Amino acid sequence: MTAINTRTLDRELKRGSAELLILSLLDARPRHGYELSKLIRARSNGRLSFHIDSLYPLLYRLEERGWIKGTWVERAGARRRRFYKVTAEGRKVLAAQRKAWRAFVDAVRAVTGDENA
Amino acid sequence: MPDWKPDLRRRLAGLQLPPAREAAIVDELAQHLDDHYRDLIAGGAEPAEAERLALADFQAGDVLAKYIAPLRLASEPSHPPPAAPGQSLLAALLQDIRYAARSLRRQPAFAAVTMLTLALGIGANSAIFALVDATLLRPLPFPDAGQLVAISERTPATPEAWVSPVNMTDWSTRSQSFVAIGGTAPNVASMVLANADGSTETIPRQWVSHGVFDALGVTSVAGRTFQRSDDLDRIERVVLAESFWRSRFNADPGIIGTSLRLDGDPYVVAGVVPDEAQILGRTSMWALRNVENLPPAARRQYSLRAIGRLKPGVTLEEARADIDRVAADLAREFPATNTGRGVNLVPLRDTIIGGDLRHTSTLFLGVVGVVLFICCANVASLLLTRTLARRRELALRTALGADRRRLTALVLTESLMLAIGGGAIGLAIAALVLRAAPALIPDGLLPATVTPTLDLRVAAFCAVTALVAGVLFGLVPAWHGASPAPSQLTSTRVTGGGLRTRQWLVAGQIATAVIVLVGAGLLVRTLVAVGRVDRGYRADRVLTMMVDPPGSPSLMAFYNEVERNIRALPGVRDVAWGTTIPLGESYLGDVSAEVAGANMAPADRPTADFQIVSATYFSALDLPIVAGRGFDGRDTADGQRVCMVNEAFAQRHLRERSPIGARLTLRSQSSTTDPGSECEVVGVVTQVKGRPDEAHDLMQVYVPLLQNTIGDVFLFVRGASGDVNALSPAVRAAITRADTTQQTSVRDLQTLDDVMLDATSRHRFRAALVTAFASLALVLAMVGVFGVLLYSVQQSAREIGVRRALGAGTADVLRLVAGAGARVIGAGVVAGLAFAALGARLISTMLFGVEPFDPMTFAGVASLVALTAALAMAAPVWRALRVDPVIALRNE
């Protein structure tokens, strides 16, 4: 399996599947940007990765839509960090997108007959 | 760690983001790059390689800007203006405030004690500032009050004499410097107001000339004030004080232009003026006294106090030159009356607010300033302990990159928040004190127009005091807190740093407390001395009142009948008349007395308090006659004119002859041309005090009422037993029975004991206030002693433990702990006594019967401080004695 190239992911960004990734990860608990990027890379075994200059504009966009909320958190002696968590509205969106994604995957699998799709 | 921020800013530059937003994005991305870089280094990369790889996460081209540009944040208006560094400072400040609030919430007892301590200091200061502001700082409550002057006459015999109405009108018409000049009678007397239903009431009234309200700049609330035409048409008129108008006439505007029947005559109500006009006298109304077109003889009637308003731009010096010229002209034109008479112009404020009041206010301000210092020192001490206990936390912050400035700001923010809290509570305390103040401040200490109130100025003072205090007491802990050694991070024991600072603070507190205590001691000793003063007269249970019958030829008959009526009352031992109340008011003031055969220049002639008394006066007041005789039936209206002098007068001015039979010529003190009246001294009477704290014996001359019958006389009624106040209704009824006209006013009822209390009220007020503050200072200083000793015992528990383990006994530990405390206290006491010795001179004008360097007071204060210090030391010493060597060592 080859890594999905940047261009593909960027297209996905526009299409909304990248949003699904972010919302899913934040659904578990609040995280900061670098943690998100590491998690995506690690869980996809390095096949998915965000560029720093794509990730943050996406976070800002989600925030502007009111799906996630960022707050600065101070820790004694450390630089402040911005943590994001999913809002109530974000959770609704996430549920809808998960459903749509599952339907899409099921449809693709049904068409291709490939167990691994 | 590379600095990513310049690169990030460059990437965002094209977007023209609001600075705060850009800074936030740069922060966030820099954090991301930091994390990435750290991971790369941890993975074995070389720094240069790690930096390159971290930055490689950016795609080619302006992707970041391209993706951010469509977002709303990119189109937000760009304000505040770019590159506002205040933003991050403000953010830091807000962060500090949040942090300080959290940490204070965690220790509510500490916060409460600190704020209350400060509140006491700030509250007391603000209340006293209100007094100082009212007396020393604020101008009189009139427009352009700086242009107001008090005008008096000057003769070779007296530097300050009352003013002749005719001279006053001449100054007004001939000088170029005044907008208006007006005069008032020196005293407030009263008139009897007859109501429609036939009842009567006595109303305080002061005579004034037209021009006086114009001079003050007072405008009427209703109707108008007096005008020159009112004087010329010779219709009797009154102007009412606003509070009287409101309370007595329900603020009825219809009263203007109607007549009131006063002392039997109709007076037209011209208008109503605000109560500020009571600066002239505490009265309910002002009646118009004619000063225009008076007969030439009136030039000798020196009976007014005058005030004037200078024209805008005219200085006091210009006005003085102008009025001197007028006075010189008058002396040429009227040599018989005006030769040698000059005119004094003094700013009105200086005459209203006397030196006594100024000194008292300054004294109080000094005392409460000292109390505030002690409060601040205590709070600094408390904060210091807390800061030292937090050294680990602060060391940790330093290790994590907080710089010194940041830590100082953090500790200072906490101090300021405490100060602001303390200031707010202090303001509430000040408000309470000022609400209670009118009841505490003795009558007559403050002029009518001076009322200390809680206004914006006091609030501003309170705020500034709180801020200054916050910075002052915050500096010491901030200094100590901001320089934690890295070793503090690992040490579990708080080291003894700051103990020396705290010892200095406590020694300073004790020194200042000693200074205030010495002041209080001296003032209390003064009060005791004043209370012990020999008043001269022996009588107690004496009731006095001013009786003011309408002038008539049968005055003496009236007095005699009143006296007879009162003597017939049960419980009355004696009755007398006189124009001076011992230790109280002298209705007639001083006369100049020329001793026959003594050949003295007018300026050197003795002056003496002039009293008209009835023959019974001396027996009624138990005033021993030491030579000759008292007045009696021989001294009839057409008999030989006689007088009596007091001991001081006889010793001073009649030393070379037998006082009995000496002849005196008594003249009005303010007149150079009064021919005077001659009288023969028939007796010498015991000295009576004019004021309890007078420095020189008062000279007194008495003349008999029978030969000098006047209205406005004090009645003295001496009771046989019990409360003399109980006699007053019967006495009033006895006067009413003799008063066929029903126009006699009776006022100012008081006992001689009240008069004595009044006469010493200033001393009592000062002594009480300073003693209260001194006690507060002592308690606060001892709290400081207690705190620092307890702290030092905690600090040296290990040392004590080691010593005990090595065999030190109770006495050794006692020496160690109590010795340290005693050194601090001793240093404070010695320094305090030294400064007090220097400072006591400053209040010497307020002292009486005690020297500024009074050994008894100084020794007493030293022992008091030593005693209370011993009490404050007891608990810490006890604790030191119970230090268990095993536990103390195990703690390490």
When mean pLDDT is compared across B148-157, B273-282, B704-713, B779-788, the lowest value belongs to B779-788
**Maximum separation of any 2 CA atoms in chain A, in Å:** 56
A61 CB within 8 Å of a chain B CB: yes
Question: What DSSP character marks residue B618?
Answer: H
Mutate to test the interface with B, among A32, A52, A63 (most CBs of B within 10 A): A52
Over the stretch B284-305, which tens digit does the pLDDT of each residue have? 999 999 999 888 888 877 888 9
Instruction: Answer whether A60 sits within 8 Å of B401, measured CB to CB.
Output: no
Q: Which residues of B touch A37 (CB under 8 A)?
A: 32
Over the stretch B627-664, which tens digit does the pLDDT of each residue have? 999 998 888 888 899 999 999 999 988 887 788 999 99
Q: Which tokens in the block code for residue A67?
A: 């799906």
A vs B: CB pairs below 8 A: 71
Cα B17 from Cα B77, distance rounded (Å): 8
The helix or strand, by DSSP H or E, that contains position B7, with its residue range, turns out to be helix B5-12
Average pLDDT for chain B: 84
Q: Which residues of B touch A64 (CB under 8 A)?
A: 71-73
Q: Which of B810, B827, B825, B831 is nearest to B877 (CA)?
A: B810
Mutate to test the interface with A, among B3, B32, B40 (most CBs of A within 10 A): B32
- Sorting pLDDT into bands at 50, 70 and 90, what band is B18? confident
Q: State the smallest CA–CA distance between residue A115 and chain B in angstroms.
A: 34
Q: Which residues of A touch B25 (CB under 8 A)?
A: 56
When mean pLDDT is compared across A34-38, B178-182, B355-359, B609-613, the lowest value belongs to B355-359
**What pLDDT, on the 0 to 100 scale, is given for residue B504?**
85
What is the distance, to the nearest Å, from the Cα of residue B747 to the centroid of all Cα atoms in its chain?
29
Over the stretch B430-451, which tens digit does the pLDDT of each residue have? 888 888 877 777 766 666 666 7
Q: Which tokens in the block code for residue B224?
A: 């108008």
Instruction: Answer whether B400 sits within 8 Å of A78, measured CB to CB.
Output: yes
Beta-carbon contacts of B1 under 8 Å, excluding residues fewer than 6 positions away, are: B34, B37, B38
- Sorting pLDDT into bands at 50, 70 and 90, what band is B493? very low
- Sorting pLDDT into bands at 50, 70 and 90, what band is B562? very high
Say if CB B178 and CB B311 are below 8 A apart: yes
**What pLDDT, on the 0 to 100 scale, is given for residue B888?**
62
Q: Mean per-residue pLDDT for B391-416? A: 75
Q: State the smallest CA–CA distance between residue B54 and chain A in angstroms.
A: 10
Residue B209 vs residue B88, higher pLDDT: B209
Q: Does the pLDDT of residue A15 top 80, yes or no?
A: no
Cα A60 from Cα B65, distance rounded (Å): 13
**What pLDDT, on the 0 to 100 scale, is given for residue B741?**
75
A53 CB within 8 Å of a chain B CB: yes
Instruction: Answer whether B64 sits within 8 Å of A56, measured CB to CB.
Output: yes
A32 CB within 8 Å of a chain B CB: yes
Question: What DSSP character marks residue B133?
Answer: I
CA angle B274/B277/B278 to nearest 5° reads 110
Share of chain B above pLDDT 70, in %: 92
Q: Which residues of A touch B39 (CB under 8 A)?
A: 38
Q: Which residues of B touch A82 (CB under 8 A)?
A: 24, 27-28, 31
Q: Which residues of A touch B35 (CB under 8 A)?
A: 34
Over the stretch B60-86, which tens digit does the pLDDT of each residue have? 778 888 888 888 776 654 433 333 344
Which of A37, A61, A80 lies at the smallest CB-CB distance from B27?
A80
A73 CB within 8 Å of a chain B CB: no
Q: CB burial class (10 A; 0-12, 13-18, 19+) of residue B754? A: middle
Q: State the smallest CA–CA distance between residue B56 and chain A in angstroms.
A: 9
**What pLDDT, on the 0 to 100 scale, is given for residue B247?**
92
Q: Which of B372, B498, B392 is nearest to B788 (CA)?
A: B498
B261 CB within 8 Å of a chain A CB: no
Beta-carbon contacts of A37 under 8 Å, excluding residues fewer than 6 positions away, are: A49, A50, A52, A55, B32
Q: Which residues of B touch A38 (CB under 8 A)?
A: 39
Model pTM above 0.95: no
Q: Report B:24-53 residues touching A (Cβ under 8 A).
A: 24-25, 27-29, 31-36, 39
List of long-range contacts for B724-728, beta carbons under 8 Å, 24+ apart: B724/B541, B724/B542, B724/B543, B724/B751, B725/B543, B725/B751, B726/B571, B727/B543, B727/B569, B727/B571, B727/B572, B728/B543, B728/B545
**What pLDDT, on the 0 to 100 scale, is given for residue B80?**
38
A64 CB within 8 Å of a chain B CB: yes
- Sorting pLDDT into bands at 50, 70 and 90, what band is B710? confident
Instruction: Answer whether B67 sits within 8 Å of A53, measured CB to CB.
Output: yes
- Sorting pLDDT into bands at 50, 70 and 90, what band is A34? very high
When mean pLDDT is compared across B329-333, B545-549, B550-554, the lowest value belongs to B550-554
What is the distance, to the nearest Å, from the Cα of residue B49 to the centroid of all Cα atoms in its chain?
76
Say if CB B580 and CB B702 are below 8 A apart: no
Instruction: Answer whether B32 sits within 8 Å of A79, measured CB to CB.
Output: no
Closest residue in A to B57 (Cα–Cα): A51
Q: Which residues of A touch B27 (CB under 8 A)?
A: 79-80, 82
Q: State the smallest CA–CA distance between residue A101 and chain B in angstroms.
A: 25
Which of B24, B33, B396 lies at the smallest CB-CB distance from A77?
B396
Question: What DSSP character marks residue B442?
Answer: P
A113 CB within 8 Å of a chain B CB: no
Closest residue in A to B407 (Cα–Cα): A77
Q: Which residues of B touch A74 (CB under 8 A)?
A: 95
Cα B282 from Cα A28, distance rounded (Å): 81
Q: Which residues of A touch B400 (CB under 8 A)?
A: 76-78
A91 CB within 8 Å of a chain B CB: no
Instruction: Answer whether A51 sits within 8 Å of B58, measured CB to CB.
Output: yes
Q: Which residues of B touch A81 (CB under 8 A)?
A: 28, 31
ipTM: 0.87
Which of A51, A60, A79 lies at the smallest CB-CB distance from B57?
A51
Q: Which of B872, B717, B868 is nearest to B788 (CA)?
A: B872
Say if CB B352 and CB B445 are below 8 A apart: no
Q: Does the pLDDT of residue A32 top 50, yes or no?
A: yes
When mean pLDDT is compared across A11-15, A17-21, B265-269, B412-416, the lowest value belongs to A11-15
Q: State the smallest CA–CA distance between residue A3 and chain B in angstroms.
A: 16
Cα B606 from Cα B247, distance rounded (Å): 47
Alpha helices in B43-106 (DSSP H): 47-55, 63-68, 72-75, 86-106
Q: Mean per-residue pLDDT for B871-891? A: 77
Q: Report B:64-103 residues touching A (Cβ under 8 A).
A: 64, 67-68, 71-73, 95
Instruction: Answer whether A79 sits within 8 Å of B34, measured CB to CB.
Output: yes
Q: Which residues of B touch A79 (CB under 8 A)?
A: 27, 31, 34
> How many Cα neighbours within 13 Å face the side chain of B33?
25
A80 CB within 8 Å of a chain B CB: yes
